[in-house]
Amino acid sequence: MTNPDKAAAVRVRGLSKSYRRISAVRDLDLDVEYGEIFAILGPNGAGKSTTIEILEGNRTRDAGEVRVLGEDPGTAGRSWRAKVGIVLQEASDAGMLTVSETVGMFTNCYGTARNPSDVLELVGLDAVAGKRVRTLSGGQRRRLDVALGIVGKPDLLFLDEPTTGFDPEARRQFWDLIRLLAADGTTIVLTTHYLEEAAALADRVAVIVGGRVVAVESPTRLTGHVSMAATVRWVDADGEHVEKTDRPTDLVRSLSQDGTELAELTITRPTLEDAYLHLIGQA
């Protein structure tokens, strides 16, 4: 993978974008390192899509500095675009073509590209290469979207809600594909509404609310924005009990030291979802 700007694959400072009187993005700062999986979370209308579209070079900005793979996406040329892969949330396709024909057609758009057969094997579509696109299942079509996004060997891949509509098994298979691409050196920026997806995949997570980044941390460290006390639940002869404590082991030991059976005992700690809801609530 090329690395024209060793500082960061994506560097954003003071990004702003408004639509008439509505401010979609306001003075936003962001950095994405080369080789990482970076997730962007936020409620609907937070400015995620506008930010991503500006980074992709598909929307102009009102103010701010933006560098993606060392260039300004607003003015970058074809050689820069060949380094960027994009998988939209909804993609149109030539349904009459076969899967193999579709990937082959996109291969011809790049000077350097992966072998179509290798791409189909990588995304798990080699068994349906001869099928027409219109006959594919939702999960298979999403894999085709990714195949088209990576066929040009991009240095940076944007994934917009990549597993929307997937069943749990298909979603985890897709996660394996994303990890494989990252291990191959591809920098990945994804937006998702599935918090467990961000927790499972991302090296770092940015939470955007009201057009601004309110937190950037690893999924584990992001939970530090809420109380780290564990919640202990159990049932005894007096009914159900719930208690928060920083020392759950000591609590359980004291409750059961006389041999009392603690039925339905659970110990839970704050999750990425807890931190996310806290952050958007504060904002």
Instruction: Specify the amino acid at residue 181.
Output: L
Number of domains in the chain: 1
Give the sheet arrangement for strand 10-19, strand by strand: 22-32, 10-19, 63-68
Under 8 Å CB-to-CB from 9, ≥6 apart: which residues? 32, 33, 34, 35, 68, 69, 155, 156, 187
In angstroms, how far is CA 34 from the centroid of its own chain? 15
Distance CA 16, CA 65 (A): 10
Range list of β-strands (E), 20-140: 22-32, 37-41, 63-68, 84-87
Chain centre distance of CA 272: 14
Higher model confidence: residue 160 or residue 89?
160
Q: What percent of the chain has pLDDT over 90?
A: 44
Answer whether residue 249 is part of any domain. Answer: yes
In terms of C-beta distances under 8 Å and separation of at least 24 residues, what long-range contacts does 142-146 make, across chains too? Answer: 142/166, 142/174, 143/174, 143/177, 144/93, 144/99, 144/102, 144/103, 145/87, 145/88, 145/91, 146/87, 146/174, 146/177
For 83-106, the DSSP string reads TEEEE-SS----TTSBHHHHHHHH
Note the pLDDT of residue 110.
Answer: 81
CA 137 centroid distance within chain: 22
- Prediction pTM value: 0.80
Q: Is residue 132 part of a domain?
A: no
Give the angle subtended at the CA of 24 by the CAs of 272 and 30, to the nearest 5°.
Answer: 55
pLDDT at res. 57? 94
What's the mean pLDDT when you consider all of the chain?
87
Given this model, what pLDDT does residue 173 score? 84
Tokens (6 digits) for 62 = 């009102």
In a domain, 228, yes or no: yes
Least confident of 1-10, 107-116, 122-131, 145-154: 1-10
pLDDT band at 123 (very low <50, low <70, confident <90, very high): confident
Say if 231 falls within a structural domain.
yes
Helix 138-150, helix 168-183: angle, nearest 10: 10
User: Is 259 inside a domain boundary?
Assistant: yes
DSSP string over 176-192 = HHHHHHHHTT-EEEEE-
In a domain, 261, yes or no: yes
- Determine the average pLDDT of the residues in 8-35: 94
Q: How do beta strands 230-236 and 156-160 pair?
A: unpaired
CB 155 within 8 A of CB 69: yes
Measure the CA–CA gap between 1 and 156, rounded to whole angstroms. Answer: 9
Q: Give the pLDDT band (50/70/90) at residue 1.
A: very low
Report the C-alpha gap between 129 and 169 in whole angstroms: 21
Instruction: Write out the residue range of the structural domain in which residue 270 sits.
Output: 224-282
Note whether residue 117 is domain-resident: no
DSSP 126: G
Residue 243 lies in a domain: yes
